């Protein structure tokens, strides 16, 4: 399979964005001035990580890409010594990250890595539950540390206590130090993120692989169904909304909770009623930590949490109140899901002819079930809880930068790289200490304005799904399971790319995420704030979904996403609700328009647009 | 249910001779009726008794055909014609085959056998509510359909036969089909003696099929036991069985019965019945229907469900012919015409998926080392 040469793509600079490279770390660039690196880049297969980045990265937001660049790679290559793979290399074109798994090429080296891997990974698999319990403690301590972190304002005169307690340090120094601490906590949190994840995915992907060897036609979703119905905390925020809906009906304040879509109005009205106050105290309990859930994936600064945007959970609660009042069950059909899971597992197992294959099936299924909760739960701790708090701490830093005139608006801070922010803070604190004006007040606002224009142009650009030279074999578990990079997906991506006029496309292919066939009207929602427009039974078409989208699933008839595999959020939730999902279509949100009639076949991954 | 022998009406002389019936209804047959009615008819009886919908019919038993051959002295004639024949000399075999078949086809049945067949045919017509009901006449040999000895296509089938005279004629042709050159050679090479293979003839109501085809309860391409694969075309199943069209192709998950893959092909011809001659003939499918799905989703699901029951009953992957009857309302119009053990994959064993059958960790390691093929 042939894909464009990365350097050719990069060479076609979008007019007006010349010099954009300085917005990102220098090692992310495809280069032409280093022949060895240039050749490596040409010979390598790079695919656009649309799963995580449906839109171009703001300079600051690159922090998480760098964080997982380090964390994933180190765990594969330096800690667990995964025999045939090193890390995953990263590049950037026009704000869109491209990634590539790096193989170990020398068979002798692969062989040498085997015993290390068996010892190290084996230790984690064997002690999974105990180590996972330790992980939770480490992770929660990290989040508490983040929450306690102070971002000090710079006063004209330091407090007297600095003198009387003989502290010997200024707020200026604390600002620099705490900014470093903030960043380091973020990087640390991502270290933990990958502690279990590679192994978790490996267990999962090779269980899938094993079952597909026995049953070559088995849809991947049937395999994931065998590990469904396990309680994971990712469902908890949604469960809290349901609890609050039931509670509102119980207390008779449901009409107050639903009288407005504006949280501030609802809250004010509730405060006037004794029962309303009682409901608000239940809400307060639910909010920490469960409303630290991002309305997006948590990867972007603009993914605000439920706590930041109370209108979002409010609309979810209102949806559930409506269902409760109509006497419709809002419980996840967990019992049904489990019964079906057990039936399916038993029937497939019954078709396995050889005793040793049945034994291997049991082993791998057990292992997949063990790792499954972590594979889901880490998302809540890292991408949702930690990130939600983190973005707001960064906003506190931005407030100070704005006060000192280095940026015009708080939200401008995201247009700087994190090391540029550090430099700007040095500029600010030295100027503050000295009593002069920071140099940045004249340089940054101009640069930020230009960068905003660049970002706009990046958003209008469509990154090709893959560039470089496709390999024969992919061994890196993430690449296989999470991005669903397979021969077939690449060919599907390539074929849609070839169509000139998107208005003539009537067939779209994606992964069969959750079985079933349904016809209905499309509703394209690019962000969770648009889910309020969904009408009962519509088909949700989204770039990707996350747990904060959960209430939407109570309304829709099916779900289609641009990005994600059979383990993605949309696929998992749809299977739990028993509705069709087609995921990883590549470009559904670009081709489908709200109101189009669609036929969604979640068993085959086919979408038909009735034009 | 009473045994076949006790329900079949026959003359007292009959019982004296062998105690075995000359004719019997499909529903009286079981798996162990193979020596009496051959593999196909035994399997139809087995299906009916398993609750599978099968068009009704009856069989001339092996005893019936043996008696026919004996009474007319044909068996001695055949034995002398076959003696000393060289199984490798195909020309010689063809010549002898022609002679044998002519002898069989020109001999009338005894009046006694004729009466028994005519009586069954009359009863069948009454059951179907159609005078001179059109039937399919097929040979059903005792050695065919057994795993490891696929005789598929080696005996004849005659469709749309109406009236007793035509029926009797085609039943003799079926008996004679046991002596095609190829069949003689095949038996000789496989070591089946002439007396080890007896033939029975099945007479079954023609399904007036709107759509028909075949179904495998295993993936014929990769041996996947978790799927049911259905090929279908409009009209009778002949166009699918013979490979004259590229049929519509459906892959159904055996466990959940959902359709996981479908390919709708352009189907240029189909077989239908000529209302004048009552014979099946190939016609061109009207252009606007050529790319229409020939089996609707509900029918696919019901059919797959039947396939699953049939497999469960026999405890092995099956090869099934089926039809959707256009004369009957939906919900009761899907019929199984034939079911036999699948012979290709059942001889191989399921591909071993595990390496050493070791721990999860061992499997993960060996899989990591192998990786996933991309191009």
A118:B224 CB<8 A: no
Beta strands in A384-489 (DSSP E): 466-468, 473-474
| Confidence band for B219, pLDDT divided at 50, 70 and 90 | confident
Q: What is the DSSP string of A336-357?
A: HHHHHHHHHHHHHHHT---HHH
B369:A110 CB<8 A: yes
Yes or no: say if A293 and A306 are a contact pair by the CB < 8 Å rule: yes
Q: Please give the Cα distance from A560 to A519 (Å, whole number).
A: 12
- By C-alpha distance, the chain B residue nearest A199 is B364
Question: Is B298 an interface residue toward A (CB < 8 Å)?
Answer: no
**Higher pLDDT pick, B10 / B348:** B348
Q: Kindly report the number of other CB atoms within 10 A of residue A503's CB atom.
A: 10
- By C-alpha distance, the chain B residue nearest A356 is B357
Q: Please give the Cα distance from A115 to B9 (Å, whole number).
A: 78
Q: What are phi and psi of A137, to 5 degrees?
A: -65, -45
Q: Which residues of B touch A367 (CB under 8 A)?
A: 360, 364
Q: Please give the Cα distance from B277 to B270 (Å, whole number).
A: 17
Given this model, what pLDDT does residue A570 score? 84
Given this model, what pLDDT does residue B13 score? 41
Q: Which residues of B touch A344 (CB under 8 A)?
A: 255-256
Strands B157-161 and B135-141: antiparallel
* Minimal C-alpha gap between B40 and chain A (Å): 26
A363:B360 CB<8 A: yes
* Minimal C-alpha gap between A258 and chain B (Å): 40
Query: Which residue, A457, A524, A586, A511, is CA-closest to A224?
Result: A511
B226:A351 CB<8 A: yes
Q: Please give the Cα distance from B46 to A491 (Å, whole number).
A: 47
B219:A217 CB<8 A: yes
Q: Is the peptide bond before A289 cis (omega within 30 degrees of 0)?
A: yes
**Higher pLDDT pick, A173 / A218:** A173
State yes or no: pLDDT of B146 exceeds 50: no
State yes or no: pLDDT of A322 exceeds 70: yes
Task: Name all contacts of B18-21 with Cβ < 8 Å and 24+ positions apart.
Answer: B18/B63, B18/B67, B20/B61, B20/B63, B21/B61, B21/B63, B21/B64
Contacts of B181 (CB under 8 A, 6+ apart): B90, B93, B94, B96, B97
Given this model, what pLDDT does residue A498 score? 55
pLDDT in tens, A430-452: 999 999 999 999 999 999 999 99
| Confidence band for B347, pLDDT divided at 50, 70 and 90 | low
State yes or no: pLDDT of A17 exceeds 90: yes
Three-state secondary structure call for residue A431: helix
B374:A363 CB<8 A: no
* Minimal C-alpha gap between B148 and chain A (Å): 19
Q: Which residues of A touch B364 (CB under 8 A)?
A: 121, 202-203, 206, 367
Question: Is B369 an interface residue toward A (CB < 8 Å)?
Answer: yes
State yes or no: pLDDT of A569 exceeds 80: no
Of B226, B359, B368, the CB nearest to A363: B359
Three-state secondary structure call for residue A517: strand
Q: Which residues of A touch B258 (CB under 8 A)?
A: 515-516, 603
Given this model, what pLDDT does residue A443 score? 97
Q: Which residues pair with B135 in a beta bridge?
A: B161, B205
Q: What is the mean pLDDT of residues B224-253?
A: 90
pLDDT in tens, A197-230: 989 888 888 888 889 888 988 877 788 888 877 7
pLDDT in tens, B272-315: 888 777 677 889 999 999 999 999 999 999 999 999 999 998 88
Sign of the torsion angle spanned by Cα atoms B85, B87, B88, B91: positive
Residue A548 vs residues A293, A329, A538, B133, B137: alpha-carbon distances, Å: 6, 20, 18, 66, 66
H-run or E-run covering A610: strand A606-610
Q: Which residues pair with B251 in a beta bridge?
A: B229, B261
Yes or no: say if A487 and A471 are a contact pair by the CB < 8 Å rule: no
Q: Which residues of B touch A82 (CB under 8 A)?
A: 368
Yes or no: say if B336 and B321 are a contact pair by the CB < 8 Å rule: yes
- By C-alpha distance, the chain B residue nearest A479 is B372
Mean of pLDDT over chain B: 82
Of B254, B260, B368, the CB nearest to A603: B260
State yes or no: pLDDT of B16 exceeds 70: no
Query: Which residue, B63, B175, B160, is CA-closest to B108?
Result: B175
Three-state secondary structure call for residue A56: coil
Percent of chain A surpassing pLDDT 90: 62
Distance between alpha carbon A140 and the CA centroid of its chain, in Å? 19
- By C-alpha distance, the chain B residue nearest A205 is B364
Q: Please give the Cα distance from A241 to A552 (Å, whole number).
A: 12
Burial of A590 (0-12, 13-18, 19+ CB in 10 A): middle
Q: What is the mean pLDDT of residues A287-299?
A: 89
Question: Is B83 an interface residue toward A (CB < 8 Å)?
Answer: no
State yes or no: pLDDT of A404 exceeds 90: yes
B361:A118 CB<8 A: yes
Mean of pLDDT over chain A: 90
Given this model, what pLDDT does residue B152 score? 36
Given this model, what pLDDT does residue A286 score? 95
**Higher pLDDT pick, B182 / A602:** A602
Residue to substitute from B363, B364, B370, interface A, most A β-carbons within 10 A: B364
ipTM value for the complex: 0.75
Yes or no: say if B247 and B225 are a contact pair by the CB < 8 Å rule: no
> What is the interface size between A and B, counted as CB pairs within 8 Å?
148
pLDDT in tens, A451-482: 999 999 998 888 887 888 877 766 666 666 55
Range with lowest mean pLDDT among A530-539, B16-25, B249-258: B16-25
A351:B360 CB<8 A: no
- By C-alpha distance, the chain B residue nearest A511 is B260
H-run or E-run covering B232: strand B227-234
* Minimal C-alpha gap between A206 and chain B (Å): 6
Q: Please give the Cα distance from A468 to A43 (Å, whole number).
A: 6
Q: What is the mean pLDDT of residues A592-596?
A: 91
Question: Is B315 an interface residue toward A (CB < 8 Å)?
Answer: no
Per-residue DSSP letter, B213: E
DSSP-H helix ranges across A435-509: 440-460, 477-481, 487-498
Sign of the torsion angle spanned by Cα atoms B237, B238, B243, B245: negative
Q: What are phi and psi of B41, to 5 degrees?
A: -70, -40
Q: What is the mean pLDDT of residues A358-365?
A: 92
| Confidence band for B8, pLDDT divided at 50, 70 and 90 | very low
pLDDT in tens, A340-353: 899 999 999 999 98
* Minimal C-alpha gap between A351 and chain B (Å): 7
Q: Which residues of B touch A366 (CB under 8 A)?
A: 360
pTM above 0.90, yes or no: no
Q: Kindly report the number of other CB atoms within 10 A of residue A486's CB atom.
A: 17
B365:A472 CB<8 A: no
């Amino acid at each position: 399979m042939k894909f464009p040469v990365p350097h050719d793509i990069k060479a076609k600079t979008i007019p007006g964005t010349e010099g954009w490279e300085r917005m990102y770390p220098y090692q992310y660039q495809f280069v032409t001035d280093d022949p060895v690196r240039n050749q490596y880049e040409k010979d390598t297969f790079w695919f656009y990580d649309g799963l995580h980045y449906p839109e171009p990265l703001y300079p600051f937001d690159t922090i998480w890409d760098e964080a997982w660049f380090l964390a994933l790679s180190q765990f594969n290559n330096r800690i667990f010594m995964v025999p045939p793979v090193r890390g995953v290399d990263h590049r950037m074109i026009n704000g869109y990250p491209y990634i590539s798994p790096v193989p170990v090429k020398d068979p002798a080296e692969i062989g040498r890595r085997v015993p290390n891997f068996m010892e190290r990974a084996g230790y984690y698999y064997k002690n999974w539950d105990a180590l996972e319990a330790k992980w939770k403690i480490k992770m929660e301590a990290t989040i508490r540390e983040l929450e306690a972190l102070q971002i000090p304002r710079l006063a004209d005169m330091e407090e007297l206590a600095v003198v009387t307690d003989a502290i010997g340090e200024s707020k200026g120094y604390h600002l620099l130090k705490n900014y470093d601490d903030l960043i380091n906590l973020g990087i640390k949190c991502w270290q933990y993120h990958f502690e279990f994840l590679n192994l978790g995915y490996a267990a999962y992907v090779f269980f899938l692989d094993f079952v597909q060897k026995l049953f070559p036609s088995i849809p991947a979703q049937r395999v994931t169904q065998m590990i469904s119905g396990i309680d994971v905390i990712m469902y908890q925020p949604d469960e809290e909304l349901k609890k609050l809906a039931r509670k509102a009906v119980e207390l008779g304040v449901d009409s107050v909770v639903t009288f407005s879509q504006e949280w501030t109005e609802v809250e004010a009205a509730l405060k006037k009623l004794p029962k309303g106050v009682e409901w608000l105290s239940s809400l307060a309990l639910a909010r920490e930590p469960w409303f630290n859930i991002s309305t997006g994936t948590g990867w972007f600064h603009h993914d605000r949490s439920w706590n930041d945007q109370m209108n979002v959970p409010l609309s979810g609660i209102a949806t559930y109140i409506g269902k409760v009042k109509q006497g419709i069950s809002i419980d996840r059909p967990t019992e049904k899901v489990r019964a079906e899971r057990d039936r399916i597992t038993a029937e497939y197992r019954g078709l396995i002819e050889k005793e040793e294959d049945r034994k291997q099936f049991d082993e791998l299924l057990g292992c997949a079930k063990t790792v499954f909760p972590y594979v889901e739960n880490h998302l809540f701790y890292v991408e949702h809880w930690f990130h939600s708090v983190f973005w707001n701490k960064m906003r506190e830093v931005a407030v100070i930068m704005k006060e000192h005139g280095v940026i015009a608006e708080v939200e401008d801070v995201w247009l700087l790289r994190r090391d540029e922010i550090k430099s700007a803070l040095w500029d600010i604190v030295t100027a503050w200490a000295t009593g002069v004006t920071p140099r940045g007040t004249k340089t940054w606002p101009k640069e930020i304005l230009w960068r905003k224009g660049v970002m706009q142009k990046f958003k209008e650009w469509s990154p090709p799904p893959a560039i470089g030279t496709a390999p024969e074999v992919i061994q890196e578990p993430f690449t296989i399971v999470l991005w669903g990079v397979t021969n077939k997906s690449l060919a599907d991506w390539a074929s849609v790319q070839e169509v000139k006029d998107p208005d003539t496309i009537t067939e779209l292919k994606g992964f069969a995420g959750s079985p079933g066939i349904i016809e209905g009207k499309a509703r394209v929602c690019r962000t969770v704030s648009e889910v309020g427009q969904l009408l009962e039974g519509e088909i949700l078409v989204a770039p990707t979904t996350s747990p904060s989208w959960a209430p939407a699933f109570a309304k829709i008839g099916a779900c289609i996403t641009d990005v994600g595999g059979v383990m993605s959020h949309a696929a998992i939730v749809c299977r739990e609700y028993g509705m069709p999902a087609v995921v990883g279509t590549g470009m559904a949100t670009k081709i489908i328009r709200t109101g189009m009639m669609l036929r969604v076949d979640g068993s085959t991954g086919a979408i038909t647009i009735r034009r | 249910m009473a045994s076949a022998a006790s329900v079949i009406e026959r003359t007292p002389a009959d019982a004296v001779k062998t105690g075995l019936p000359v004719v019997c209804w499909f529903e009286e047959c079981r798996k162990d009726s193979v020596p009496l009615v051959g593999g196909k008819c035994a399997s139809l009886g087995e299906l009916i008794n398993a609750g599978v919908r099968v068009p009704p019919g009856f069989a001339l038993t092996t005893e019936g055909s043996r008696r026919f051959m004996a009474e007319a002295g044909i068996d001695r004639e055949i034995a002398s014609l076959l003696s000393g024949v060289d199984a490798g000399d195909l020309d010689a075999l063809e010549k002898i085959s022609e002679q044998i078949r002519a002898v069989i086809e020109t001999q009338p049945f005894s009046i006694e056998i004729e009466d028994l067949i005519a009586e069954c045919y009359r009863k069948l017509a009454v059951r179907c509510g159609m005078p001179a009901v059109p039937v399919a006449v097929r040979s059903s040999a005792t050695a065919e359909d057994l795993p490891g000895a696929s005789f598929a296509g080696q005996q004849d089938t005659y469709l749309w036969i109406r009236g007793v005279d035509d029926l009797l004629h085609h039943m003799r042709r079926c008996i004679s089909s046991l002596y095609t050159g190829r069949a003689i050679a095949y038996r000789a090479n496989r070591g089946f003696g002439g007396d080890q293979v007896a033939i029975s003839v099945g007479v079954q109501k023609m399904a007036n099929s709107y759509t028909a085809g075949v179904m495998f309860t295993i993936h014929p391409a990769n041996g996947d036991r978790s799927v049911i694969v259905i090929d279908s075309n409009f009209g009778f199943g002949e166009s699918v069985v013979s490979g004259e069209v590229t049929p519509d192709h459906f892959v159904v998950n055996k466990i959940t019965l959902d359709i996981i893959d479908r390919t709708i092909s352009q189907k240029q011809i189909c077989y239908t019945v000529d209302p004048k001659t009552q014979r099946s003939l190939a016609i061109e499918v009207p252009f606007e229907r050529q790319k229409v799905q020939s089996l609707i989703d509900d029918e696919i699901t019901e059919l797959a469900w039947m396939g699953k029951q049939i497999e469960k009953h026999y405890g092995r992957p099956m090869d099934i012919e089926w039809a959707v009857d256009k004369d009957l309302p939906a919900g009761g119009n899907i019929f199984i015409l034939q079911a036999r053990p699948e012979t290709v994959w059942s001889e191989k064993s399921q591909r071993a998926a595990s390496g050493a059958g070791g721990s999860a960790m061992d499997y993960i390691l060996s899989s990591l080392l192998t990786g996933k093929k991309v191009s």
